[in-house]
Structure 1
């Protein structure tokens, strides 16, 4: 087998898509001597076993083979980089492939994150006319649900046929008939959006969980975990779900609830024959009489009754499609000078074209030019919903004028009711096409620029309320479209939650349309919001898009700041190795441009990422470097945090007096600087150090103070850590019952947050509490979970602690062979890491 190389390994950076990237992976395999798939798989599994991953979670040769095949729609990031490492383990090389994978997925992911999810049924314009037979069938089916998913009804048909209207009417009919749903969920799956493509089901599941009462910081990461939580919740409480515009069976099936008493209505232009347990309605145009009745309801009875023959002709020319009929009826209502026959004749003059497009063309022709111009600009905006302020910014008018324009578009049935108003996907595509034909590029660019500025101002105002002392960018000048007044912290958070998909879309479009500064400034503004809500997908995506733009523009300082944000996002996702690469690059870039404050933050974060990987000496060195930088800058809050981090390393290494001294200095500085978060961190560390030094009274005082402050500040991660340390103190004091209660609370919080390192730590000490209470049999599963979590995140200290407690649990259960095995593993890791691992 060839081992020497005369050329450099393949460069993944210029891959044009997933197929191109897998082609380059095949080149890398050839460059590495063309090892067999069995050899590659064995290398991956050996590396994972060394990290402590259980044997039953090893990858298979067939799974690895799939990564070399063209036509894949998805590649798991961690397995992909594991394959690269197995082929070429040079430091930093796999990180380049990870970045390339993200880059080729970026455009699709940006669109997939743009999702319209609501916790209520959207408004309907007037009552549904016709469709009584269909409504009756749905009512019968709803009364006979399936035990697994409840009643599932698919409404299928062409654009403009009224699928959504029927689904919403059926949903309201079910509720009026007493359906027990306590929550009403709606999502536009955007299955026919050629520009943006279907939404990401994992994002929808995350939003559904939030609407079902799961706090943002408790939504688990990953589609599988979110699906499991969604199924569990909907088995316990009935829900009514409307899945609008499904692309295919798979996207809809993933969102079906899990309870017998749930009702799901799915709409699609495709036939969903493979949807589990579904009943199906194939929707066609209205009956001729119902079509005329719809014209009559919209245009007015007198207009239509005066010209019954022309009304019947117009209904036929509209293809009996409700959307075309509603738009035509609105035009008749708004233009009393036109007869029904005039409108029908105008329609015929357009010649052969889509019925809905013809109706839209005639309706737009009848709008005042400024209103038609606003509609065209709405069609090119990256957002789906339009408040008066957003529409004002886009159109370059004042908010009152924008409000009147939106009202006229609602009157013309071109904009859905509600605040914000929304365009039907057919109307949006038509308006965007009109803008590209009729508006010069300069007008479209100016409109987008004003919209970007609007969102930057509004986002900064929201972050000012959430993080008053934050360093997020604040745009200069007056906001186009007027100020967005959030009113309170709760109002700011509600605005951010509602506008989150729009904010992601704005970052993307700003970069794509030549306004990159708006993109990176908005991304930098939002990272604390993404962090607090655990919106890791949005965090990674906005920063990756912005980073590419900043690099292309040669903005080294901005590049450094974005690298810090990306590193923190990767750390939040449990990818410490990736975070280290990013923080290192960030520190270098920021040092080069003389941004010492952000350099200090990058260095400090680098220390924390190294600590996560149990690299204690390098972590200690980075913390000391950060301490020196913060001292020189006179930044007491930053200095205090890093003193606390240094104390944490000392505690892990068994240097408890040194740890206590560092935490005491940190605590004093935090109180002087008013740094509430740092104060909580220092109190937790000081409490743990006092426990190890035998001062239980001081430990109890500090830890209870930390618990009170973390609860008051909403710091759930720190709540869990304080509870863990208190549980360990109770074990030390011999109060096993209290330890079990405290550790159970910590474990609940850790599970809700989804941070693998916190969950592993909470699992270990919950298991230790159970062992102390004489229940080692209930501790083993928790400890095996901790081993797995430590292996997955390369946290060898976590694995060592888990094996140490596993040895204790096995000995208590009378399994001396297993106890000896686990003690040996823990001892080997203790020697390798150079730290004690006893609890």
Structure 2
């Protein structure tokens, strides 16, 4: 569908043409509002499941179809949000944006995610829609974490949680979601105790609501947090439970691939390398299928780690290089830093300290300053100077 563009008109025809243009503009916004609502169902496993049964079709096909349709119409969807904002159609702005949140996340459209959610936050506030404002704050918390603005992410998550709590039972699911998002931010800052508490509260609410999709997501976060603390047996148990739930209820490919990756990291730490490699390859295949660029970069990095642990230096270097290439394309600076640390470790394994130092210096320039990895790299460089 082409964007509607205002035609050149004669002055005497202006009144009639203006009316036509306003009607066309309204249709354009409403068309993409309806389109985004429909595609949001395709990406939401809790809603997609019933729709797939009604139409006797495959859920994975529906998920892929939704992602492809949204990608094809991305320019028009962004234009529809901007047009709605320009005419003060606040509900159009925030509903369109909320409908696209999962797509922004899966496709690593961080810039669009951030810019349109800022507009949507203003729109929800002006419209007095507390529920929409709460969801938008939660989504902004997630994208600020990815940008490395973790204090701002905590602020947004706190605001989201407060708004959801004010809404009572209506905001209960949102409160659990905000706690999960907050747990991910705490984990990124290395605040393990706070992260675990947030994930456990989130899991408790999702179980109370009998929401297995939300529960599995929060279990993922909890398992990852324990893995980072090297509580590996507990992490494995939690992540297996997450994977079991996701497979049982038909979670999205995106969500299943995340658990594959997190569980693979646990197996890698336990030196169960063949099991880890199998999960990373499964994850990578899904990431590429659905266009999850950030996830693709992570899976390539983890495969590089497997090769490094097996002393397969050339294969490891190739995987790391591919990972950095993907991360550069989506401006995942912190992710680049983590892979540069891995490259530094590879050089150390090969007794090349000079190259190892250079790689860690490059990592320090890209890592988020409030991340645990930044502090570790800075201390390591200082210790050898």
Q: What is the rounded CA distance, in whole Å, between the counterparts of 2:73 and 2:234 in structure 1?
A: 40
Answer whether contact 1:586 1:602 (CA < 8 A) is retained. yes
Residue matched to 1:663: 199
Q: What is the rounded CA distance, in whole Å, between the counterparts of 2:299 and 2:162 in structure 1?
A: 33
Q: What is the rounded CA distance, in whole Å, between the counterparts of 1:668 and 1:724 in structure 2?
A: 24
Counterpart mapping for 1:441-520 below 5 A: 489-492=52-55
Residue matched to 1:809: 346
Q: What is the rounded CA distance, in whole Å, between the counterparts of 1:537 and 1:465 in structure 2?
A: 13
Aligned-residue offset at 1:563 = 3.5
- Return the match for 2:3 from 106, 118, 136: 106
**Considering only aligned residues, what root-mean-square deviation do their CA atoms show, in Å?**
3.8
Deviations 1:18-41 (A, max 9, x none): xxxxxxxxxxxxxxxxxxxxxxxx
Counterpart mapping for 1:250-649 below 5 A: 489-492=52-55, 532-541=66-75, 543-544=77-78, 546-547=80-81, 550-551=84-85, 554-565=88-99, 569-634=103-168, 635-649=171-185
Aligned-residue offset at 1:822 = 1.0
Q: Which has the larger radius of gyration?
A: 1
Residue matched to 2:289: 752
Aligned-residue offset at 1:779 = 1.3
Q: What is the rounded CA distance, in whole Å, between the counterparts of 2:40 and 2:287 in structure 1?
A: 26
Aligned-residue offset at 1:664 = 0.9
Question: Which runs of no fewer than 5 residues in structure 2 stay unpaired?
Answer: 6-22, 378-385
Answer whether contact 2:190 2:371 (CA < 8 A) is retained. no
Alpha-carbon spacing, 1:460–1:815, altered in 2? closer, same or farther (3 Å): closer
Indicate yes or no: 2:326 matched with 1:784: no
TM-score, scaled relative to structure 1:
0.38
Deviations 1:241-266 (A, max 9, x none): xxxxxxxxxxxxxxxxxxxxxxxxxx
Deviations 1:41-64 (A, max 9, x none): xxxxxxxxxxxxxxxxxxxxxxxx
Q: Which has the larger strand fraction? A: 1
Answer whether contact 2:45 2:251 (CA < 8 A) is retained. no
Answer whether contact 1:465 1:492 (CA < 8 A) is retained. no
Specify the SS of the correspondent of 2:174. helix
Q: What is the rounded CA distance, in whole Å, between the counterparts of 2:151 and 2:312 in structure 1?
A: 37
Answer whether contact 1:776 1:810 (CA < 8 A) is retained. no
Alpha-carbon spacing, 1:756–1:694, altered in 2? closer, same or farther (3 Å): same
Aligned-residue offset at 1:531 = 8.4
- Return the match for 1:722 from 254, 259, 273: 259
Deviations 1:787-821 (A, max 9, x none): 22222222221011111111112322444332221
Asked which structure has the greater RCO (Cα within 8 Å, sep 6+), the reply is: 2
Indicate yes or no: 2:335 matched with 1:798: yes
Specify the SS of the correspondent of 2:275. helix
Q: What is the rounded CA distance, in whole Å, between the counterparts of 1:734 and 1:562 in structure 2?
A: 45
Alpha-carbon spacing, 1:648–1:544, altered in 2? closer, same or farther (3 Å): closer
Residue matched to 1:182: none
- Return the match for 2:236 from 688, 700, 709: 700
Deviations 1:192-237 (A, max 9, x none): xxxxxxxxxxxxxxxxxxxxxxxxxxxxxxxxxxxxxxxxxxxxxx
Residue matched to 1:99: none
Residue matched to 2:15: none
Aligned-residue offset at 1:736 = 2.5
Residue matched to 2:225: 689
Aligned-residue offset at 1:637 = 1.4
Q: Which has the larger helix fraction? A: 2
Aligned-residue offset at 1:677 = 2.4
Aligned-residue offset at 1:493 = 7.5
Specify the SS of the correspondent of 2:311. coil
Alpha-carbon spacing, 1:549–1:657, altered in 2? closer, same or farther (3 Å): closer
Number of positions where the alignment pairs a residue of Structure 1 with one of Structure 2: 348
Alpha-carbon spacing, 1:540–1:566, altered in 2? closer, same or farther (3 Å): farther
Alpha-carbon spacing, 1:777–1:572, altered in 2? closer, same or farther (3 Å): same
Q: What is the rounded CA distance, in whole Å, between the counterparts of 1:760 and 1:821 in structure 2?
A: 22
Specify the SS of the correspondent of 1:779. helix
Answer whether contact 2:63 2:252 (CA < 8 A) is retained. no
